[in-house]
Amino acid sequence: MAILEAKDISSGYGEVQILWGASLSLEEGKLTSLVGANGVGKTTLLRTIVGLNKPWEGSIWFEGEDVSKLSAHAKASMGLVLVPEGRQLFTDMTVYENLEMGATAQRSRARMAESFEKVFTMFPRLKERRGQKSGTLSGGEQQMLAVARGVMADPKVLIIDELSLGLAPVLVLDLFGSLKKLKDEGITILLVEQNVQMALAVSDYGYVLAEGRNEMQGPAKELINNKEIRSAYLGI
Amino acid sequence: MQQLSLLLTSLPDGILLGFVYGVAAMGLTLIWGVMDVINLSHGPIISLGMFGTFFIFIKMGINPYLGLIPVAILGLLLGVAIYFIAVHRVIDAPHLSSLLATFSVNMIIIGIATAALTTSPYNVDFNMGSFDLGFTTILGTRLIAAVIAILVTGGLYFFLYRTRPGKYIRAVTNNRAAAELMGVPSTQILALSFGLGTMLAAISGALIATFFPFSILSGAGYELKSFVIGVLGGLGNPVGALFGGLILGVLEGAIPAFMETSWVPVIEFGLFVIILLVRPNGLFGAKE
């Protein structure tokens, strides 16, 4: 059964419509990626799913419940967590405090000690720097913290927008490795990436978005070998 | 020599007063920092705090320092109410909207209070004795007010840095969308912050009323001082506000030793303009 489903979503900003009936369905425990060129509405779709934007049309279902009208903090409390593009850390707060803020919901606060251990094992660097203000971290460390903060929320579905943006390839490999570990622990992951090849390589399933609509979808292995995708996004 | 003795007489008074100014400014700067709203109803809320002391002490005979507790609670609730009635709907609108909204609240409070209490001055004759330092005497009420102001600042600092709701306030200040994504109910946190800001205003008013006469219009002067202090300490930086208040208090204590007292506001606001030009983030830094 799908843990998260977005059905025929239309949305945008002000007068400008970005999404024209995009749909998405996440299989529980799988890593799904959403790819597409710059500006096709990937981030808008994520913002609409988590409640930062309201859907103009269509509905969003989480664990069989219609959550279309819920606020972002309510959805986060249910375990639908977004790691936003550009990290969006609390830059004036310490690494530790950022992680603490991740565990805001009742259910995640109950498991805070456990979650701290988990993220510090996953990212030992963050443990070393836990007293440091997050704004002073390097780009890679900030991205680790953004993911770790999301993990602190004890998510059922973790959505990550542009994990690799602006990071050195070695770091990106590391982070993708961490995602696999999270998946193995049973967290359903939706990954949005401009780095199409990398994203599809680690994913189970993939969606291709173009001009605010679904263009293609299928098992990641098939997509990565698809001729159109290879020429449009992979430049091969 | 004469100036030096004048300075020694008035400086301690100014410094003590400065701490109380600091608390008023902290309220203004907290609200600005968290939600980018300049609260133009700050002044009348300071005045309401003053009347709080009046009613609690004169009418009910309760010790005004004990009276700070109900004044603080009422100030908090009033702020939460103002937030939901007037501020929430314009929270994401351009600054002009929130300025007008809080200015309307300002006019409403002044209007009602003028009708009910007139604008003639009230006086709380409260005596806590005085201390002779040799070169000057310090009023007990001012000393206690300064001590309470420092305790309130410490309390606010503790709240913001050591408690969960306080950390939520800092998180929302820092990045409201991200806080919302972490499950922080940002609307409630904004309302709480606004309530804390008005609570601080009410407390400072309640303290000032123990040594100065006042009317519903008196708060306006302290609101203006709060702007100067806020800019000195860095708007959005509550702890900087205490130091800003101290600087203003020192100025108010020192200037009368060298020139007419009527020059005080000229120098204060001259300083205000200079700091805005030279260090717009305040002497102690703050958010960009």
Q: Which residue among A89, A101, A153 sits closest to B167, beta carbon to beta carbon?
A: A101
Q: Which residue has the tokens 């309307």?
A: B104
Digit-by-digit pLDDT tens for chain B (288 residues) are 677 787 888 888 899 999 999 999 999 999 999 999 999 999 999 999 999 999 999 889 999 999 999 999 999 999 999 999 999 999 999 999 999 999 999 999 999 999 999 999 999 888 888 888 887 888 999 999 999 999 999 999 999 999 999 999 999 999 999 999 999 999 999 999 999 999 999 999 999 999 999 999 999 999 999 999 988 887 777 778 989 999 999 999 888 888 888 998 899 999 889 988 988 877 776 444
- Output the pTM of the full model: 0.92
Q: Is the dihedral of CA B74, B80, B85, B87 positive or negative?
A: positive
Cα B43 from chain centre: 8
Among A81, A104, A154, which would you mutate to test the B interface (most chain B Cβ atoms within 10 Å of its Cβ)?
A: A104
CB contact under 8 Å between A101 and B184, yes or no, is: yes
CB contact under 8 Å between B168 and A105, yes or no, is: no
What is the three-class DSSP state of A35?
Answer: strand
CB contact under 8 Å between A72 and B167, yes or no, is: no
- What's the rounded mean pLDDT across residues A196-225? 92
Distance from CA of A163 to the nearest CA of B (A): 16
Q: Is residue A141 a contact partner of residue A129, using CB atoms and an 8 Å limit?
A: yes
Q: Is the dihedral of CA B115, B119, B120, B125 positive or negative?
A: positive
* B126 exposure class (CB count in 10 Å sphere: 0-12, 13-18, 19+): middle
Q: Is B170 on the interface with A (CB under 8 A)?
A: yes
Tell me how far apart the alpha carbons of residues A147 and A215 are, in angstroms, rounded to a whole number: 28
Tokens of B114: 């003028």
* pLDDT tens-digit readout, A121-153: 999 999 999 999 999 999 999 999 999 999 999
Residue of A nearest to B174 (CA): A90
Residues 6+ apart with CB under 8 A from B29: B226, B229, B230, B233, B234, B235, B236, B237, B238, B240, B241
CB contact under 8 Å between A102 and B179, yes or no, is: no
> Using alpha carbons only, what angle is made at residue A187 by residues A181 and A189, rounded to the nearest 5 degrees?
90
Q: Is B54 on the interface with A (CB under 8 A)?
A: no
Tell me how far apart the alpha carbons of residues A219 and A202 are, in angstroms, rounded to a whole number: 11
Residue of A nearest to B162 (CA): A97
Count Cβ atoms below 10 Å from residue B46 Cβ, excluding itself.
33
Tell me how far apart the alpha carbons of residues A66 and A187 are, in angstroms, rounded to a whole number: 21
CB contact under 8 Å between A149 and B182, yes or no, is: yes
The DSSP H or E segment spanning A18 is strand A16-27
Q: Is B175 on the interface with A (CB under 8 A)?
A: yes
Name which residue leads in pLDDT, A232 or B96.
B96
Whole-number percent of chain A with pLDDT over 90:
83
Dihedral pair phi/psi, residue B22, rounded to 5°: -55, -40
> What pLDDT score was predicted for residue B285?
60
Q: Is A85 on the interface with B (CB under 8 A)?
A: no
Q: Which residue has the tokens 């292995």?
A: A221
CB contact under 8 Å between A101 and B180, yes or no, is: no
Residue of B nearest to A151 (CA): B182
- What's the rounded mean pLDDT across residues A64-93? 95
Q: Which residue has the tokens 């410094």?
A: B15
Q: Is A101 on the interface with B (CB under 8 A)?
A: yes
Chain A hits for B179, Cβ within 8 Å: 90, 101
Chain B hits for A153, Cβ within 8 Å: 182-183
Chain A hits for B180, Cβ within 8 Å: 52, 71-73, 76
Residue of B nearest to A97 (CA): B167
Residues 6+ apart with CB under 8 A from B257: B3, B4, B6, B7, B10, B11
* Bridge partner residues of A6 (DSSP): A24, A60
Q: Is A160 on the interface with B (CB under 8 A)?
A: no
Q: Is residue B50 a contact partner of residue B221, using CB atoms and an 8 Å limit?
A: no
What residue type is A221 in one-letter code? K
Q: Which residue among B168, B174, B183 sits closest to A153, beta carbon to beta carbon?
A: B183
**Cα separation values, B175 from A15, B33, B195, B280, Å:** 25, 11, 20, 21
Tell me how far apart the alpha carbons of residues B258 and B98 are, in angstroms, rounded to a whole number: 41
Q: Which residue among A50, A71, A90 sits closest to B171, beta carbon to beta carbon?
A: A90
Q: Which residue among B168, B181, B287 sits closest to A82, beta carbon to beta carbon?
A: B181
Chain B hits for A100, Cβ within 8 Å: 167
What is the three-class DSSP state of B168?
Answer: helix
> Using alpha carbons only, what angle is made at residue A87 by residues A82 and A90, rounded to the nearest 5 degrees?
100
Tell me how far apart the alpha carbons of residues A24 and A30 are, in angstroms, rounded to a whole number: 13
End-to-end, the C-alpha distance of chain B in Å comes to: 44
Strands A157-161 and B137-139, sheet pairing = unpaired
Q: Is residue B207 a contact partner of residue B148, using CB atoms and an 8 Å limit?
A: yes
Continuous H helices in chain B: 2-35, 42-54, 64-82, 95-117, 140-162, 164-174, 176-181, 186-208, 219-233, 238-254, 264-278
CB contact under 8 Å between A73 and B185, yes or no, is: yes
Tokens of A89: 């850390």
Q: Is A72 on the interface with B (CB under 8 A)?
A: yes
Residues 6+ apart with CB under 8 A from A81: A50, A150, A153, A155, A157, A158, A159, B181, B182
Q: Is residue B122 a contact partner of residue B51, using CB atoms and an 8 Å limit?
A: yes
Q: Is B171 on the interface with A (CB under 8 A)?
A: yes
CB contact under 8 Å between A73 and B184, yes or no, is: yes
> Using alpha carbons only, what angle is made at residue B129 by residues B128 and B134, rounded to the nearest 5 degrees?
140
Q: Is A50 on the interface with B (CB under 8 A)?
A: yes
